[in-house]
Chains A and B, each alone.
Chain A
Amino acid sequence: MILEFIASLTVIALTGMVPRAIPVIAASNGELVDQSAGVLNLGVEGMMLIGTVVGFFTDFYTGNLILAFLLAGLAGMCLSLLHAVAAVSLKADQVVSGTAIWFIGWGLSGVIYRALFGKILVPPTINSIPHLSLPILSSIPIIGPIIFGQDPVAYFIILTVVAVHYFLFHTQPGLNLRTVGEDPRTAEEMGVNPKRYRIYAIMFGGLMAGIGGAYLTIAITGTFYYDLTGGMGFIAVALISFGKWKPFRTFFGCLVFGAVFVVFLTIQNYYPSIPYQFFQMWPYLAILVILSGVSAKSGGPAALGKPYEKRD
Chain B
Amino acid sequence: MSTPLVSMRNITKTFPGVLADDNVDLDLFPEEIHVIMGENGAGKTTLMNVLYGFYRADSGKISVEGKEVEIKSPVDAQSLGIGMVFQHFSVIEVFTVLENVAIGRRDSGLRLNLAKLEFEIEEAQREYGINVSLNRKVEELSTAEKQKAEILKVLFKGAKVLILDEPTSMLTPQETEALFKNLRSLKKQGRAVVLITHKLYEILELADRVTVLRKGRVVLNTVRENISPEILAEAAMGHSMTVQQYERKTIAEEGALTIKNLSVRGDRGEDAVSSVSFDVRRGEILGVAGIAGNGQRELVEALVGLRRIQTGNITLNGVDMTHKSVRDRIRLALRYVPEDRKRRGVALDLPLTYNAVLRDHWQAPFEHAHRLRFSSIREFAKRIIAEFKVVCSSETSSANELSGGNLQKFIVGRELLRDAEYIITENPTAGLDFGSAEYVRRILFEHRNAEKGILLVSGDLDELISMSDRIIVLYRGHVNGTVERKNFDKVSIGALMLGQGFDEAKTAV
Chain A interface (Cβ within 8 Å of chain B)? Answer: 170-176, 178-179, 182-183, 185-192, 297, 299, 302, 311-312
Contacts and interface: CB of A to CB of B under 8 A. Distances in A.
B75 A191 contact: yes
A188 B74 contact: yes
A176 B94 contact: no
Contacts of A299: 94
B112 interface: yes
B56 A183 contact: no
B355 interface: no
Contacts of A176: 103-104
Contact of A189 (B74, B102, B105, B109): B74
A41 B29 CA distance: 50
Given A176-B103, A187-B104, A311-B49, 5 more contacts: A172-B110, A179-B95, A186-B90, A188-B74, A189-B74
B112 A312 contact: no
Given A172-B109, A311-B55, A302 B93 contact: yes
Contacts of B54: 311-312
A311 B112 CA distance: 30
B31 interface: no
B105 A172 contact: yes
A173 B90 contact: no
B69 interface: no
B371 interface: no
A186 B92 contact: yes
B112 A186 contact: no
A172 B90 contact: no
Contacts of B74: 188-189, 191
Contacts of B55: 311-312
A181 to B, nearest CB: 9
B109 A183 contact: no
A178 B112 CA distance: 13
A311 B56 CA distance: 11
A171 B110 contact: yes
B466 interface: no
B111 A170 contact: yes
B92 A191 contact: no
Contacts of A174: 112
Nearest to B78: A191
8 contacts: A171-B111, A172-B108, A172-B112, A176-B104, A178-B95, A183-B92, A186-B92, A187-B104
B91 interface: yes
Question: Which 7 residue pairs are nearest across A and B when measured between Cβ atoms?
Answer: A190-B104, A186-B90, A191-B104, A190-B103, A191-B75, A189-B74, A182-B92
A162 to B, nearest CB: 15
Tell me which of B54, B56, B73, B103 has the highest count of chain A C-beta atoms within 10 A of its own C-beta.
Answer: B103
B370 interface: no
A170 B111 CA distance: 6
B460 interface: no
A175 B91 contact: no
Nearest to A189: B74
A175 B91 CA distance: 13
Nearest to B76: A191
Nearest to A192: B104
Tell me which of A174, A186, A299 has the highest count of chain B C-beta atoms within 10 A of its own C-beta.
Answer: A186
B94 A186 contact: no
Contacts of B67: none
Given A172-B110, A172-B112, A188-B74, A179 B90 contact: no
Interface string B47-68: 0010000111000000000000
B426 interface: no
A297 B94 CA distance: 14
A250 B180 CA distance: 47
B93 A186 contact: no
A60 B158 CA distance: 60
Contacts of B421: none
A183 B102 CA distance: 15
Given A186-B92, A311-B54, A179 B103 contact: yes
Given A183-B90, A185-B90, A186-B90, A170 B103 contact: no
Contact of B92 (A170, A179, A297): A179
B112 A175 contact: yes
Contacts of B433: none
A178 B94 CA distance: 10
Contacts of A179: 92, 95, 103-104
Contacts of A175: 99, 102-103, 112
A171 B108 CA distance: 10
B106 interface: yes
B219 to A, nearest CB: 26
A170 B109 CA distance: 12
A211 to B, nearest CB: 24
A249 to B, nearest CB: 16
B102 A182 contact: no
Interface string B77-110: 0100000000000111111000100111110111
Contacts of B103: 175-176, 179, 186-187, 190, 192
Contacts of B94: 182, 299, 302
Contact of A186 (B91, B108, B110, B268): B91
Contacts of A185: 90
B112 A189 contact: no
A170 B113 CA distance: 8
Nearest to B268: A297
A172 B102 contact: yes
B85 to A, nearest CB: 11
Contact of B112 (A170, A190, A191): A170
A182 B109 CA distance: 23
Contacts of A186: 90-92, 103
Given A312-B54, A312-B56, A172 B92 contact: no
Nearest to B91: A186
A179 B91 CA distance: 9
Nearest to A174: B112
A179 B103 CA distance: 7
A188 B92 CA distance: 13
A311 B72 CA distance: 12
A274 to B, nearest CB: 42
